[in-house]
Every structure is written in C-alpha cells, then in structure tokens.
Chains A and B, each alone.
Chain A
Amino acid sequence: DVKVTQSSRYLVKRTGEKVFLECVQDMDHENMFWYRQDPGLGLRLIYFSYDVKMKEKGDIPEGYSVSREKKERFSLILESASTNQTSMYLCASSLTGQSYEQYFGPGTRLTVT
C-alpha cells in the first residue's frame, strides 16, 4: 500500500514564524504536490515537483516555497507565516503518466495566530 505521511496533524504557529511542513511517500513516486484546502474553495495547488530538485508553481504560490532534495520527501515552507495562511494543507504523490491517480496524506491543519 502506498503511504503518504505528513509530519504533523495539527500545528499552531505565531505570525511571522518560519514554518516547515514535511511530506514523505514510500512508493518511489516521481511527482509530489502541495495543496491547501479551504471551505468553499476546494483544493488549490500551491507547488508541485515532478522530479528531485525540480519544482513548479501552482495556482497560489505566493508566500510559500518548497524543497525536494530527495525523491521521497517534499517540504513546504512558509517563510513568514500570516493569519491568512491558516488552512488545511494536503500533500499528495503520484507516478508520471496520465492514467495514474494521486495518493494523499492525512493533512496538516495549520493555525497561525
């Protein structure tokens, strides 16, 4: 079974802090993704990576950066957390190829106060 794990289920941070969200997958997937999920807005893609050290901006990259130094790990970084980044963050991974589905982690609920 594919497993995608995220470092925390719940996180509370203060405005201005640097925040790291970690995601690890164990099935050798090339592609990894970070989304945020907000009520009424569905899933919005922040960044994705199709290979080690490669990254592409998604629909809402402002205020975020990512790092992929190893194939199994994809980190999301909030350089200076703000209250409007309070959200549910979901990580996902997939194989390359149009017929392949994504596998999601359980999510991290981040609250910025």
Chain B
Amino acid sequence: GNSVTQMEGPVTLSEEAFLTINCTYTATGYPSLFWYVQYPGEGLQLLLKATKADDKGSNKGFEATYRKETTSFHLEKGSVQVSDSAVYFCALRGTYKYIFGTGTRLKVLA
C-alpha cells in the first residue's frame, strides 16, 4: 500500500541555517506529493505541492522536487527564520485518501 516516511525530529537550527527535511514515499502509480506546515495551536496549511515527476514546488523560500527515481520529495530552505518554527508534514494523495508522514518538528533559534 501507499506510505510516507519522513525524518524524525526535532530538528534544531540557528537562524539563517540551511534546512533539509527528508521524505520518501511508496506508492502505486504517480501520486501527487505535498508538504504541509502546522504552527502551534493551528490546523495544517499547504506549503507546496508537486503533481508529477521532476516538478518543483516552491513557496515562501521552501522548495521540494518530485524525484520518481528515488521516490523522494525532500523539503529544503536556504535560510531559515525563527518564524519557520513549526511541524512539517509530507503527504501523498491516492484516489481519495491522503497519506501523511508522522511530522517533523523544526525549532529555529535566534
């Protein structure tokens, strides 16, 4: 069946550091891939998405590329800010259902 595996946190970085959060998936066919962010006390918000192989999603300085050959969708940001502190979820969509990773907590220190 479909599954998503993302790196365990927490990840603690200093402001302006480079961020990578790894995400790999197992799926039949070619699902769409998503990154969501959850700030404290809130629901999830879409950060970016990619709907086919080699697509790059980007938003707010974050990027992720849909790599079919490595079944990966790693999230990157060149220079993190304190305001990026949140929990990040990688997800894929099957026919109706979405499959989420367990989330990676990011803490950015000033």
Point out residues on A near B: beta carbons under 8 Å: 4, 31, 33, 40-43, 45, 48, 50, 56, 58, 90, 92, 96, 98-107
Cα-based distance from A45 to B46 in the complex (angstroms):
18
A–B Cβ pairs within 8 angstroms, 24 of them: A4-B43, A40-B102, A42-B89, A42-B100, A42-B103, A43-B100, A45-B98, A50-B96, A56-B96, A58-B97, A92-B43, A98-B95, A99-B32, A99-B49, A99-B51, A100-B32, A101-B34, A101-B93, A102-B46, A102-B98, A104-B36, A104-B44, A106-B42, A107-B42
The residue in chain B whose Cβ has the minimal distance to the Cβ of A99 is B51
Q: Is B43 within 8 A of A107, CB to CB?
A: yes
Q: B31 and A98: CB pair below 8 A?
A: yes
The interface residues of chain A lying within 8 Å CB-to-CB of B98 are: 33, 45, 102
- Is B71 in contact with chain A by the CB < 8 A criterion? no
- 0/1 per residue, B8-43, Cβ < 8 Å to A? 000000000000000000000001101010000111
Nearest residue in B to A56 (C-beta to C-beta)?
A: B96
Contacts of B46 in A (CB 8 A): 101-103
Give the A-binding residues of B (Cβ under 8 A).
Answer: 31-32, 34, 36, 41-46, 49, 51, 89, 93-98, 100-103
Picked from B31, B45, B49, B102, the residue with its CB within 8 Å of the CB of A104 is B45
A90 to B41, CA, bound (A): 11
The answer to whether A48 and B97 touch across the interface, beta carbons within 8 angstroms, is yes
Query: What separation, in Å, do the CA atoms of A100 and B97 have in the docked complex?
Result: 11
* CB <8 Å contact, A42 and B101: yes
Q: Which A residues lie within 8 Å of B45 (CB)? A: 104
Known: A99-B51, A102-B98, A104-B45. A43 touches B34 (CB 8 A): no
In the complex, A101→B46 CA distance in Å?
A: 7
